[in-house]
């Protein structure tokens, strides 16, 4: 009988331990715990990179993360963790956290985005958390589809475009959907390459014009004839003028990633 009780207590501890890894302030204790929670509960993973020597980081800790509203929102629809870049430089390098404070999110479909850099107010950070949770609820793993509603890159193969800088038509037999947009590929091999890292090949920001996103906070789709590559990523623009502005100072428009849903797109919905 004592052995049975001991076995039952052990089993109970194993089941409940993951729940104890989240602190009262809404953050998971470790990156591994947050990542496991995100995988097990099918949630987006939010990583807040900071350091003790960083003034804006300390300001966010005292003014923003101490808010009960923020702490509650951290528990709603996402798994969040704080990472000190001085203690875990390899993880910071993995996610490109060269400047802090910085918030990076990894969605269920594998998309990784930098959502903010620098200090954010309570209201701004609450909005960011809600956007992450809302998009996380909609996202799904890329999959092959039989029919498409939105065709990416007007049917041209994104892998050939990024790898070879060539406009090669794809085939409906090799079609995959990523973030609600269907892309065609010229071969099955290239399709599989895309599925391993879709965010590397798909146009950034769902193909929306980054100039309009930053200036007006509107998701206006760009056109493939106004495309440009920067840092081995494809950006689409709604006009030649916007593409020229982007080329003058690309870092201004690329350092912040935007969480965009298909329902937010305006303008021509076909990239």
Across-strand partners of 102?
Answer: 49, 117
109 pLDDT more than 80 = no
Banded model confidence at residue 6, pLDDT cuts 50, 70, 90:
very low
In a domain, 271, yes or no: no
Strands 219-220, 265-266: pairing is parallel
Verify that 133 and 149 share a domain, yes or no: no
* Residue 85, token pair as written in the block: 């870049």
Regarding beta strands 45-50 and 79-84, do their DSSP bridges make them parallel or antiparallel, or are they unpaired? Answer: parallel
Residue 102: per-residue pLDDT? 94
* Residue 214 domain flag: yes
Instruction: Answer yes or no: do 7 and 127 share one domain.
Output: yes
Domain that holds residue 13: 2-138
- Indicate if 221 and 131 belong to the same structural domain: no
Torsion angle (degrees, nearest 10) of CA 22, 107, 102, 98: 120
Q: Which two tokens stand for residue 74?
A: 């951290």
Cα separation, 199 vs 123, in Å, equals: 29
User: Of the candidates 93, 123, 138, which is a domain's last residue?
Assistant: 138
pLDDT at 96: 86
Average pLDDT, the chain: 81
Alpha carbon distance 107, 178 (integer Å): 12
pLDDT at 184: 92
Asked if residue 244 belongs to a domain, the reply is yes
pLDDT tens readout for residues 145-198: 343 357 888 889 999 999 999 888 888 889 888 888 889 999 999 999 999 888
The domain boundary, picked from 120, 138, 156, lies at: 138
> Do 119 and 50 share a structural domain?
yes
Q: Does any domain span residue 188?
A: yes
One domain for residues 127 and 48: yes
Are residues 162 and 92 part of one domain? no
Number of domains into which the chain is organized: 2
Euclidean distance between CA atoms 212 and 209, whole angstroms: 6
**Residues 168 and 160 sit within 8 Å (Cβ to Cβ):** yes
- Within this chain, do residues 29 and 67 fall inside the same structural domain, yes or no? yes
End-to-end Cα, the chain, rounded Å: 67
Domain identity same for 118 and 186: no
Task: Tell whether 175 is covered by a domain.
Answer: yes
Helix, strand, or coil here: 247?
helix
Q: Are residues 170 and 232 in the same domain?
A: yes
What's the pLDDT score for residue 147? 39
d(CA 70, CA 125): 8
Q: Which residues does 40 contact at the CB level (< 8 Å), separation at least 6? A: 18
User: Average pLDDT in the 111-126 region?
Assistant: 87
CA 267 – CA 222 distance, rounded (Å): 8
Report the distance separating Cα 267 and Cα 76, nearest Å: 32
pLDDT tens digit sequence for 219-253: 788 888 888 999 889 999 989 999 999 999 888 88
- Determine the pLDDT at residue 139: 57
pLDDT confidence tier of residue 13, bands split at 50, 70 and 90: very low
Strand partners, 48: 82, 103
* Domain end (from 138, 166, 197): 138
Answer whether residue 134 shows pLDDT above 80. Answer: yes
Q: What angle do CA 242, 107, 119 make, to 5 degrees?
A: 65
Same domain, 156 and 84: no
Least confident segment among 8-12, 80-84, 102-106, 267-271 = 8-12
Considering the domain boundaries, does residue 260 fall inside one? yes
Nearest CA to 174 among 157, 199, 149, 198? 157
Please check whether residues 163 and 62 belong to one and the same domain: no
Please report, for the domain that includes residue 57, its CATH number. 3.40.30.10
**Residue 148 shares a structural domain with residue 243:** yes
């Amino acid at each position: 009988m004592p052995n049975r009780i001991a076995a039952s207590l052990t089993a109970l501890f194993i089941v409940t331990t993951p729940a104890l890894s989240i602190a009262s302030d809404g953050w998971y204790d470790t990156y591994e715990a947050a990542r496991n929670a995100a995988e097990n509960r099918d949630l987006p993973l939010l990583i807040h990179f900071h350091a003790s020597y960083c003034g804006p980081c300390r300001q966010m800790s005292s003014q923003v993360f101490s808010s009960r509203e923020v702490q509650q929102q951290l528990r709603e629809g996402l798994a969040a963790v704080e990472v000190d870049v001085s203690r875990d430089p390899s993880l910071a390098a993995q996610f490109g956290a060269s400047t802090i404070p910085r918030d990076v999110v990894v969605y269920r479909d594998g998309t990784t985005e930098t959502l903010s850099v620098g200090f954010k107010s309570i209201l701004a950070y609450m909005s960011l958390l809600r956007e992450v949770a809302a998009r996380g609820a909609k996202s799904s793993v890329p999959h092959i589809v039989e029919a498409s509603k939105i065709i990416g890159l007007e049917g041209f193969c994104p892998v050939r475009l990024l790898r070879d800088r060539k406009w090669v038509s794809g085939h409906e037999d090799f079609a995959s959907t990523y973030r609600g947009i269907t892309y065609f590929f010229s071969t099955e091999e290239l399709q599989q390459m895309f599925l391993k890292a879709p965010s590397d090949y798909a146009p950034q920001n769902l193909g929306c014009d980054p100039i309009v996103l930053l200036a007006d906070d509107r998701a206006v789709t760009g056109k493939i004839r106004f495309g440009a590559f920067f840092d081995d990523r494809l950006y689409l623009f709604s006009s030649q003028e916007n593409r020229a502005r982007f080329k003058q100072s690309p870092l201004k428009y690329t350092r912040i990633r935007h969480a965009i849903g298909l329902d937010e797109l305006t303008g021509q919905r076909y990239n």
